[in-house]
Structure 1
Amino acid sequence: MTATTMAWERAGLGDPLVLLHGIGTTHDDFAAVRAQLAADYEVLAPDLPGHGQSPPLRTRPTVAALTDVVAADLDALGLERVHLLGNSLGARIALELAWRGRARSVVAIAPSGMQFPLERAYQGLVMGATRANLRVFRRWITPLAGVPWGRTPLLATLRARPWDASETEARAVQPGFAEARRFWATLWWAVLADVPTGLGDIDCPVVLAQGTADWISGGQTPRFLAAVPGSVFRPLFGAGHAPQSDAPATIVSLVHEATSRAKEQ
């Protein structure tokens, strides 16, 4: 087995399930669901390029380029087709992998790429402000993450109930938003300037989901229904943009739904 480019965490046994986080965080953004998923799947969770322990891309960090790295790492791990759970940019990469024939099933939570121009500008403003604020206060992230009231300002843009998130999830914004390398290039090329193509060729089960309290994505997730054949949409009631700790049981059930549909094909 050859070496991977990204840093990966692996746990559990079963069919391979890859977790892909969004911009500004790390694989620890899935801490609320990872253990439960590892009871049924072999869970593989990377830090995307430039985040956490993974080096940044030297080339333009478009969705295609980021997907190239994920696909190459899957090859290095000996994995041809995997189940995918992604959030935000990670969900967009999951759909790109599905278009390339690398997915057995996909759960895509608030995937980026279908924003209208004003929505893109708004999302860029929110993500950029979060980056700027957390860089200024990055020395306080660790102590704030240790208490529920401190997790609220750290995760307010991502969670509907940030105080319910774990310390692990909150601390992920330090190697993410506060310290991610090439953050601005990734925000521009992979989120704000990205326009999905080829989604009509996806032939695996796709479950789309978005929190009803997600005030970052607007109404973009249901727009993927018309682009992805056979996809279904599931609202996550009362959940935010990155709702892993807002609705962990529901997210796990969505993964089971998608993987069960894949077995029926």
Structure 2
Amino acid sequence: MELNHIRRGTGDPLLLVHGLGGSWRTWDPVLDDLAAEREVIAVDLPGHGETAPLSGEVSIDTLATAVSSFLEANGLDGVDVVGNSMGGRLVLELARRGDVGATVALAPGGFWKGWERYFFYATLAPSIRLVRLLQPVMDRLMDNAVGRTLLLAQLSARPWALSGDVALEEMRTFAESPSFGELLRRLAFEPGQRGAASTRGPVVIGWGRKDRVTLPRQAKRAMTRFPNAQLYWFGESGHYPHWDAPEEAAQLILASTVSEAGTTLE
């Protein structure tokens, strides 16, 4: 399957996978730093951005299969990958399948338990309805710190400090994604992330200590399912480390996906 994507920079390829409702533009805060050392390939998943939705079932499995097909068609087998939120869950699934190399999953979904599932769904489902209603005035809301704080407080630890352009694009793609509702339900209520005892490349899981979507307590479960992974904490970040701590996130990604062995995370 062909996915809308951009390529930037030179060097070994690095695939970026956005989260639920997003697009490749969510990575704007870290693109330049990553492209200074790697050839960055950032995709729009099916039913997001400028990629058409899947014709049948829309789930983590079918999205992962679509990405695998894209990798095969573009000669990217074994590529290093980075994902955030639902994208974090997707890249862990690709790692579990053995389709990719080094893997960085930022705030991956799929590790909630019990009431956390209902919390996730009950907070995001009304939010997307509000975002769609506010589209006619969204540019003005995202152009000021108060508007960003009101609408993005669950995603960011410091929404008032975010780029208005990046925030506006995210709110636009949230509203326009035809796959948002079905994926949200599946993420909340279907079986969670499957684990792997070993993967083709190293796995790093990054988590924000101020995450209000995938709660920090879920990190322990992620490590149980991927026991060979390394865990990295972003001390001042919410659900989007690449927004709240872009320099730190870029450094983690580059350090975690170098070809040489022996990299140590702090």
Given candidates 211, 216, 231, the residue that maps to 1:214 is: 211
1:182 paired residue number: 179
Shift of 1:141: 1.4
SS at match of 1:103: coil
Once the two structures are TM-superposed, the CA of residue 146 in structure 1 deviates from its matched residue by 2.7
Rounded Cα–Cα distance in structure 2 between residues aligned with 1:173 and 1:194? 27
1:139 paired residue number? 136
Asked whether 1:248 is paired with 2:246, we answer: yes
CA distance in 1, matches of 2:15, 2:163: 21
Residue 37 of structure 2 corresponds to residue 27 of structure 1: no
SS at match of 2:236: coil
What value does the CA root-mean-square deviation take over the aligned residues? 1.7
Structure 1 letter corresponding to 2:238: G
Do the aligned residues in 1 keep the contact of 2:197 with 2:228 (CA within 8 Å)? Answer: no
Provide the C-alpha distance between the structure 2 equivalents of 1:204 and 1:192, rounded to a whole number of angstroms: 29
Other-structure match for 1:102: 99
CA distance in 2, matches of 1:245, 1:196: 24
Q: Partner residue of 1:39? A: 36
Residue 83 (structure 1) shift: 1.1
Q: Using the TM superposition, give the Cα deviation of residue 191 of structure 1 relative to its aligned residue in structure 2, in angstroms.
A: 4.5
Match of 2:233 in 1: 235
Pairing of 1:71-110 with structure 2 (within 5 A) = 71-110=68-107
Is the 2:223–2:231 contact (alpha carbons within 8 Å) kept by the matching residues of 1? Answer: yes
- Whichever residue aligns with residue 213 of structure 2, its letter is I
- Say which is worse superposed, 173-182 or 83-92, in terms of deviation: 173-182
Match of 1:257 among 227, 247, 255: 255
| Superposition deviation, residue 158 in structure 1 | 0.9
Query: Is contact 1:240–1:246 with CA below 8 Å preserved after alignment?
Result: yes
Contact 1:113 1:192 in 2 (8 A): no
- The aligned counterpart of 1:58 is 55
How high is the TM-score relative to the length of structure 1?
Answer: 0.92
Residue 203 (structure 1) shift = 3.6
What is the CA distance between 1:212 and its match in structure 2?
Answer: 0.9
Identify the residue that residue 225 of structure 1 maps to in structure 2.
223
Q: C-alpha displacement at 1:5, in angstroms?
A: 2.7
Match of 1:16 among 13, 22, 41: 13
Aligned counterpart, 1:117: 114
Structure 1 portions without partners, runs of 5+:
none
Structure 1 residues 191 and 67: alpha-carbon distance in aligned structure 2, compared to 1, 3 A threshold: farther
Moved over 4 A (4+): none
Equivalent position SS for 1:263? coil
- 1:180–1:25 Cα change, 3 Å: same
> CA contact under 8 A between 1:108 and 1:209: conserved in structure 2?
yes
TM-score of the superposition, structure 2-length normalised?
0.92
| C-alpha distance in structure 2 between counterparts of 1:235 and 1:207, whole Å | 11
Higher mean C-alpha displacement, 33-42 vs 73-82: 73-82
Deviations 1:195-249 (A, max 9, x none): 2224224242111111111112122123111221321111111211112121111
Alpha-carbon offset, residue 259 of structure 1 = 1.4
Q: Which amino acid aligns with 1:62?
A: S
* Contact persistence 2:15–2:40 (CA under 8 A): yes
Within 2, Cα distance between the matches of 1:89 and 1:192? Answer: 14
Q: Which residue of 2 aligns with 1:168?
A: 165
- What secondary structure is seen at the aligned counterpart in 1 of 2:221? helix
Shift in Å, 1:161: 0.8
SS at match of 1:238: coil
Q: How many residues align?
A: 261
Aligned-partner residue type, residue 245 of structure 1: W
* Residue range with higher mean Cα deviation, 71-80 or 149-158: 149-158
Identity of aligned residues (%): 33
For 2:172 and 2:61, the matched residues in 1 are separated by 23
Aligned AA (1:193): E
> Do the aligned residues in 1 keep the contact of 2:34 with 2:254 (CA within 8 Å)?
no
Q: CA-to-partner distance for each residue in 1:59-88, whole Å, 9 max, x for gaps?
A: 221111000111111122221111111111
